């Protein structure tokens, strides 16, 4: 959530920066400015009324002491009228604050200067790539066929139990999932992240704190009777651990990691790009989250990108890192890097991670602050998170890229976690 004072003091800058996200903020910013002008007018009137009431309150006692009963009673009647006026003005204040808040939460985060202009994924900028694209024979199979051939994943059984997008992992397919989760968590722990096991459902306040509400409520599964939401990512509960918290500056950065199932409705998704593991309603993911000092958050972003890069390198997957353009960024992000791995059988790139700096946007919603060591005053912190990693498309690429006539080779780093080096 953008800071109100910043909006008031820099309206043109806010409007101009949000153009990069293809968001026309002029109307909303204009309404906020107008409402605050109105609020200032009400404040001036309220100050005037309170000054008159204070003056009368002092005079009433003196009038009674002087025996001026009628004048004292008239003054008391006037203070009653003024109290009613103050209440009306306070109600007007509250109404304006509600209107401003409703407008404020509609504004996306400002993109960082590094964010390239653009509207679609085609406008994203490749900043780095690594690994060699595998060469497969003419008999190469996509992962959904490999999953059936080796009895790893049953998509139809998932449809029977729940619906499309809820696969059932079996045998070595299930063990491969567990191996990846443990590998990712172990690597995060080596990098200094404290593991958290969060709830899989959150309340409205948590959804608002990280920006899923009110922006993405249609993408989340809603448990209506209890008004809870199934989490779309562990980012939501983990970041909300620090809602309404003041962190000591010496304790920054705070580093957490969490494995969780993730749930996304993916409304409107259909067609060939949703086959197999390409787009699911339930999937597993390991998340990394950091709470950072504003001076250090972009250095920490690069550190997190390097961590994710090390994971795909150790898995032996060809990858590329994209800096997202304004039109492809999330509502809450200031700067995002996407990781894609190459799917050899499908002959296309698959997104497996987003690593983002939200600057103060989430923290402002969360009232997440750190205590400045010099002034001892609370200051809004910065938040960052990244997928390290999401499993479905990683599994898809591993199965496709490592298929051989003998079976599917398992990356060496996973063998200690799954207990086999070949799926056959």
Query: Is 156 marked as binding a ligand?
Result: no
Residue 272 confidence (pLDDT): 52
DSSP annotation of 163 reads -
Residue 78, marked binder: no
Does 105 appear as a known binding residue? no
Nearest residue to 188 (alpha-carbon basis) of 353, 337, 307, 355: 307
Q: Are residues 175 and 295 in the same domain?
A: yes
Binding site annotation covers 365? no
In a domain, 110, yes or no: no
Model pLDDT, residue 267:
63
Q: What distances in angstroms separate CA 376 from CA 246, 247, 294, 363, 364, one per listed residue?
A: 11, 11, 16, 18, 19
Tell me, what's the pLDDT at 222?
Answer: 96
Residues 196 and 263 in one domain: yes
Q: How many domains does the chain have?
A: 2
128 and 77, same domain (yes or no):
no
Of the three residues 79, 104, 129, the one that is the final residue of a domain is 104
In this structure, the answer to whether residues 20 and 66 fall within a common structural domain is: yes
Per-residue model confidence (pLDDT) at position 265? 93
Between the alpha carbon of residue 163 and those of residues 143, 166, 219, 245, 280, the distances in Å are 20, 6, 16, 40, 10
Is 264 known as a binding-site position? yes
Q: Is residue 314 part of a domain?
A: yes
| CA–CA gap between residue 209 and residue 13 (Å, rounded) | 25
Q: What's the CATH code of the domain at 70?
A: 1.10.287.40
Asked if residue 115 is part of any domain, the answer here is no
The reported pLDDT for the residue numbered 290 is 98
For residue 334, the enclosing domain spans 121-423
Residues 301 and 261 in one domain: yes
Of the candidates 62, 79, 104, which is a domain's last residue?
A: 104
Q: Is 287 annotated as a binding residue?
A: yes
Q: What is the pTM of this model?
A: 0.92
pLDDT of res. 268: 54
Residue 111 is assigned to a structural domain of this protein: no
With residue 27 as reference, give the H or E element that holds it.
helix 26-65
pLDDT at 65: 84
Cβ 384 vs Cβ 297: under 8 Å? yes
Which segments of 191-347 does DSSP mark as H helices, in order? 204-209, 235-240, 297-314
Residue 117 and residue 19 in contact, taking contact as beta carbons nearer than 8 Å: no
Residues 9 and 136 in one domain: no
Spatial contact of 7 and 71, defined as CB atoms under 8 Å apart: no
DSSP of 122-158: GG-EEEEEESPPP---TT---HHHHHHHTT-EEHHHH
Residue 407 shares a structural domain with residue 327: yes
Pairing assessment for the beta strands 319-323 and 125-130 based on DSSP bridges = antiparallel
pLDDT at 270: 56
Q: Does residue 148 sit in the same domain as residue 90?
A: no
What is the predicted pLDDT for the residue at 116? 97
Whether residue 114 is contained in a domain is answered as no
pLDDT at 57: 85
CA torsion sign for 126, 132, 136, 140 is negative
DSSP state letter for 241 = T
Taking Cα atoms as reference points, which of 169, 141, 147, 173 lies closest to residue 405? 141
229 with 351, same domain: the answer is yes
Q: Are 350 and 343 in contact (CB under 8 A)?
A: yes
Residues 173 and 65 in one domain: no
Among candidate residues 237, 290, 227, 228, the one with its CA nearest the CA of residue 260: 237
122 labelled binding-site residue: no
C-alpha 335/C-alpha 324 separation (Å) is 7
Is residue 219 situated within a structural domain? yes
Distance between alpha carbon 324 and the CA centroid of its chain, in Å? 15
Of 189, 231, 187, 234, nearest in space to 213 by CA: 231
> Rounded distance, CA 54 to CA 168, Å?
72
- The CATH number of whichever domain residue 327 belongs to comes to 3.30.930.10
Is 310 labelled a binding residue? no
Q: Are 353 and 338 in contact (CB under 8 A)?
A: yes
Measured between alpha carbons, how far is residue 182 from residues 232, 288, 409 in Å? 20, 14, 19
Q: Do 246 and 372 reside in the same domain of the chain? A: yes
Residue at which a domain ends, from 73, 104, 135 = 104
Instruction: Indicate if the alpha-carbon torsion angle 406, 407, 411, 414 is positive or negative.
Output: negative
CB 294 within 8 Å of CB 409 = no
Same domain, 199 and 343: yes
* 245 has binding-site annotation: no
Assigned domain for 234 exists: yes
Query: Tens-digit pLDDT profile for the chain (424 aa)?
Result: 999 999 999 999 999 999 999 999 999 999 999 999 999 999 999 999 999 988 998 888 888 888 888 888 888 899 899 999 999 999 999 999 999 999 999 999 999 999 999 999 999 999 999 999 999 999 999 999 999 999 999 999 999 999 999 999 999 999 999 999 999 999 999 999 999 999 999 999 999 999 999 877 789 999 999 999 999 999 999 999 999 999 999 999 999 999 999 999 986 555 557 799 999 999 999 999 999 999 999 999 999 999 999 999 999 999 999 999 999 999 999 999 999 999 999 999 999 999 999 999 999 999 999 999 999 999 999 999 999 999 999 999 999 999 999 999 999 999 999 999 999 9
Which backbone phi and psi does 178 adopt, to 5 degrees? -65, -40
State yes or no: 233 annotated in a binding site.
yes
- CA 226, CA 36: separation in Å to the nearest integer? 37
Residue 286 lies in a domain: yes
Residue 423 in tokens: 């799926």
């Amino acid at each position: 959530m953008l800071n109100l004072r910043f909006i008031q003091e820099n309206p043109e800058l806010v409007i101009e920066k949000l153009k990069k996200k293809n968001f026309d903020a002029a109307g909303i910013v204009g309404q906020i400015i107008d409402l605050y002008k109105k609020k200032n007018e009400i404040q001036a009137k309220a100050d005037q009324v309170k000054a008159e009431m204070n003056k009368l309150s002092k005079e009433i006692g003196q009038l009674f002491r002087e025996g001026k009963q009628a004048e004292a009673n008239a003054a008391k009647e006037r203070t009653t009228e003024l109290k009613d006026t103050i209440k009306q003005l306070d109600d007007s204040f509250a109404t304006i604050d509600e209107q401003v808040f409703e407008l404020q939460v509609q504004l996306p985060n400002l993109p960082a200067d590094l964010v390239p202009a653009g509207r679609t994924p085609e406008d994203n900028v490749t900043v780095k790539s690594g690994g060699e694209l595998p060469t497969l024979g003419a008999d190469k199979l996509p992962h959904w066929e490999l999953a059936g051939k080796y009895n790893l994943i049953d998509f139809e059984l998932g449809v029977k139990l729940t619906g499309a997008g809820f696969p059932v992992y079996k045998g070595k397919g299930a063990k491969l999932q567990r191996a990846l989760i443990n590998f990712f968590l172990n690597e995060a722990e080596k990098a200094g992240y404290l593991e958290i096991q969060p709830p899989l459902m959150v309340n409205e306040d948590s959804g608002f704190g990280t920006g899923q509400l009110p922006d993405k409520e249609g993408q989340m599964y809603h448990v209506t009777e209890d008004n809870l939401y199934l989490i779309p990512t562990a980012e939501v509960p983990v970041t909300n651990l620090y809602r309404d918290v003041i962190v000591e500056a010496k304790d920054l950065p705070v580093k957490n990691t969490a494995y969780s199932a993730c749930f996304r409705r993916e409304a409107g998704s259909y067609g060939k790009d949703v086959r197999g593991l390409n787009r699911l309603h339930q999937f597993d993911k390991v998340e990394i989250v950091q709470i950072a000092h504003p001076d250090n958050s972009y250095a920490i972003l690069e550190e997190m990108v390097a961590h994710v890069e090390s994971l795909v390198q150790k898995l032996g997957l060809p990858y590329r890192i994209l800096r997202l353009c304004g039109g492809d960024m999330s509502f809450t992000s200031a700067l995002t890097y996407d990781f894609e791995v190459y799917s050899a059988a499908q002959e296309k790139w698959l997104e497996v991670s987003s690593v983002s700096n939200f600057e103060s946007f989430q923290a402002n919603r969360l009232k997440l602050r750190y205590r400045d060591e010099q002034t001892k005053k609370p200051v809004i912190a910065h938040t960052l998170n990244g997928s390290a990693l999401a499993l479905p498309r990683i599994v898809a690429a591993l199965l496709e890229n490592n298929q051989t006539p003998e079976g599917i080779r398992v990356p060496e780093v996973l063998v200690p976690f799954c207990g086999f080096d070949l799926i056959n």
